[in-house]
Structure formats: C-alpha cells, structure tokens
Amino acid sequence: MLSNQELEKILNRGESDHVEFTESVKDLDKLQKAICAFANDLPNHKSPGFVFIGIMDDGSSADLTIDDELLQKLGGLRSDGKILPFPRMEVDKRVLNLGEVAVIQVEPSDNPPVKADGRCWIRVGPRRAQASAEEERWLTEKRRWGNMPYDMQGVIGASVESDLGMRQFEHEYLPTAISPEVLQENDRKLEAQLQALRMTTHDGTPTVTAILILGKDLLNWFPGAYIQFVRYAGNEVTDPILDQKEIHGTLPEQLHKLEQILKANIRNALNTSGDRHIEKPDYPLDALRELTRNAIIHRNYENSNTPVKVHWFADKVEIISPGSVYGAVTRDNFGQQGTTAYRNPTIAEAMKNMGYMQRFGIGIATARKALEQNGNPPLEFDVQDTFIFTKIKKQQ
C-alpha cells in the first residue's frame, strides 16, 4: 500500500473517480459497490482506487475508532462471495493528519466486469453508478487476456453450438449469476452474456469453465474430469470392494450425484456414553460435502487426467485431489484460516453463483468445526507435489 505521505495527497484532493470517503462500516453494501467500481476501473486509470473509512463527505474526520474487528470486517469483503471475481485489495489502518483511518486499496481487475450481488458498478467522477449494457460490454473488451488463469482460457476446437448446453445456461445459470432486475433491463444476446460471465473468450471460444460447468461432454476435453468413488470392506485398498462408481456429468451434476452417494453411505450410531442416548452419524455430511467440493473445484484441470478419488474405508474416508498447493498457499500454511489462493477462480465464481459455496476460504474451517462437534478425530492432510490427500477418521 502507498505511504502515509502519498495517501495524504490523495485524501486532500477529495472524492473522485478513484477515491471515495465513508464515515463508518455500517453500510457494507456501499463498501462492496465501491470496491466493485474501483476494480472495474472504467476510466482506465490502470492504477488503484482508494476507499477511506472514517472520513466525512467534506473530507473531515468522522472520529471513527479503527480496531482489529473493523479491519477484519473490511478484509472479509474480499472473500464473502458478494464481489465476483475476487477483487485484489489491501486493507490497512493509518494515522494521518486528520487522525485514524482505515484504507482499502483496490487494484484494477484483469478480468472485468466485476459485480457485486450480480450488478456491475462503475465510478463516474465522484459518483458511483450501475454500468449500462454498453459500459459493461466495454469492460469485457478491456480484459487482459494474457493474464487470464487457466480456467478462463479458451478450449481450442470447442464451439458454443456444439459443446455447451445453452438451455442450461439460459434457464439455470444466468438467473443465478445476474440479478433479475438487470436481466430485464439489459436485453442482451446470449453471446454477449456468455462473454461477460467469462464463459467465452473475446473470439467466442468456450472457456475451460464453460466446458466444465455447461459442457455436453466433459471427458471429450478433460479425460480426468470425473469422480471415482470406492467403498471398501476394510481399511486397505486390497480389501474387498463393497461399492464402486464413476460419477460423470458437468461439475454441478457431479456434486449433486456425489452428495446423494455420501448421504447413502453415512451410518448413524447410538451414543450411550451420557445420560441420554443420542444418535450421531459416523461422519458429518457438512464436513464431507465441504472437503469433496474443495477437491473438485480447486483441483488441477490443466496438467492431470487423474480423477478426484473418494475412498471410503471401514474407519476412515480418504479424498485425493489432483494438483498441489497454489499461489500464496504453501505446504506449511495449507489449511490455515485466512490463507487462500484460487487456481480456478472462474470455476469457483460459477459454483458460488449456483449455490455450491456460501463464502470463499472457509471450507476447511467449516469441515473442522463439523468434525469436532460430531466427535470425529481432527482432519489430516498430506500435501504432495502432484496431489493433496485428505483423511477423515470415523467418529469415535
């Protein structure tokens, strides 16, 4: 983030198309819209936008106390799933001439349009506004294609007509990704909607995400994009197999089918250790759901033809996801709360839109909490160069 001296200069110039003041954090919706607008960078400054919290509209101090709780709340705006794709932003407390302030520095997105709750916001001078269809089209066109993650790259040889389920896109995906009011206001062609939602490249080629979310035949393009489920009679892979399935279809279809299989294999046991006899599952569904979804959404689709494996043994469940740690996540900090990086940000965005994720970065924490409440031993991870191994032990 910029130095105090540089921030003072920006603050003294007042609100503009890359500076906004707000006196408190009571209106998180307002802050989300501001972050979204600065990430879109409609004026094309190619430089950060700044939100100063604790400053009145006239530039005077609001005498707001900037504590750790407030900073954590601001930092959480990046990963609460309201702003998609994820904004690149920093949050910091600074003591300037006016007093204490919190500063959010928002970098221009390589992957616009960025939306907050399905709406695209822009900055027009000191005023924030919802982007028109033409402005949103312009934002789409200024994407920095050379910096795109793998899941947003085009699948060479694929076409919208032959390889995507357009009925599914129009009637199932589109209403989850765009607010109903915007869909009514912007009577845009499906081709434009596909590109705006990162499902096609600038030349109309379906992206990796489009094939995985909407594809008619995933395995034609990604031979390892399925789930292998095996249930064993004992605790070794050499023990007799009780059940075996290969789960195919789009990623949403795979997750739906897998959840039904998980539910069918969970067994309830009677806990008689206390005064009351209570039935508890041998594995909490919430934990299995979060961990398997993580394995599918964050796996390596670029360099691996190995499926995600869910192996159910007598006393444990093991999940093997192709691909290792990515970005800021290392073997040492893997699984630690607050440490996140997304190999497949566009897939994660799509799954969030469709309701398969509530918030980003809390899957492992949610699983750990569910296991602890259910009486299961702690989670175990083994992070290797080509896969991540997760072990969930049966409730004791």
Give the domain-ending residue among 163, 181, 216. Answer: 216
Residue at a domain's end among 129, 158, 181: 129
85 half-sphere exposure, CB direction, 13 A CA radius: 27
Does any domain span residue 135? no
My answer on whether omega of the bond before 85 falls inside 30° of 0, hence cis, is: yes
Which two structure tokens, joined as six digits, stand for 335?
Answer: 């699984």
CB 296 within 8 A of CB 320: no
Range of the domain at 99: 4-129
Check residue 271 and give its pLDDT: 63
Residue 275: pLDDT band by 50, 70, 90 thresholds? low
Question: Are 65 and 120 within one domain?
Answer: yes
Taking only the tens place, the pLDDT of each residue in 203-223 is 899 999 999 999 999 999 999
**Around Cβ 137, how many Cβ atoms within 10 Å?**
16
Q: What's the rounded mean pLDDT across residues 275-300?
A: 89
CA-to-CA distance for 264 and 258, rounded, in angstroms?
Answer: 10
- Max mean pLDDT among 41-45, 253-257, 297-301 falls in 253-257
Tell me, what's the pLDDT at 333?
A: 73
Domain assignment present for residue 140? The answer is: no
Q: Kindly indicate the confidence band of residue 270, based on its pLDDT and cuts at 50, 70 and 90.
A: low
Q: What average pLDDT does this structure show over 289-302?
A: 93
Question: For position 289, what pLDDT does the model report?
Answer: 95
In this prediction, residue 280 carries a pLDDT of 87
Q: Tell whether the model's pLDDT for residue 128 goes beyond 80.
A: yes
Same domain assignment for residues 190 and 169: yes
For position 181, what pLDDT does the model report?
77
**Nearby residues of 297 by Cβ (< 8 Å), 6 or more positions away:** 251, 344, 347, 348, 351, 356, 357
- CATH classification of the domain holding 360: 3.30.565.60
Are 181 and 272 in a shared domain?
A: no
Is the domain of 9 the same as that of 70?
yes
Provide DSSP, 24-35: -SS-HHHHHHHH
In terms of domains, do 48 and 171 share one?
no
142 found inside a domain? no
Residues 365-395 have pLDDT tens digits of 999 999 999 999 999 999 888 899 999 999 8
Residue 161 tokens read as 């007509």
List beta partners, residue 227: 247, 308
Backbone torsions φ then ψ of 379, nearest 5 degrees: -60, 150
Tell me the average pLDDT of the chain: 90
The domain tally of the chain equals 3
CA distances from 217 to 81, 165, 210, 226, 243 (A): 29, 10, 11, 11, 25
Between CA 63 and CA 138 the distance in angstroms is 40
Q: Classify residue 137: in a domain, yes or no.
A: no
Each residue of 80-112: pLDDT tens digit? 878 988 889 999 999 999 999 999 999 999 888
Q: Do 282 and 203 fall within a single domain? A: no
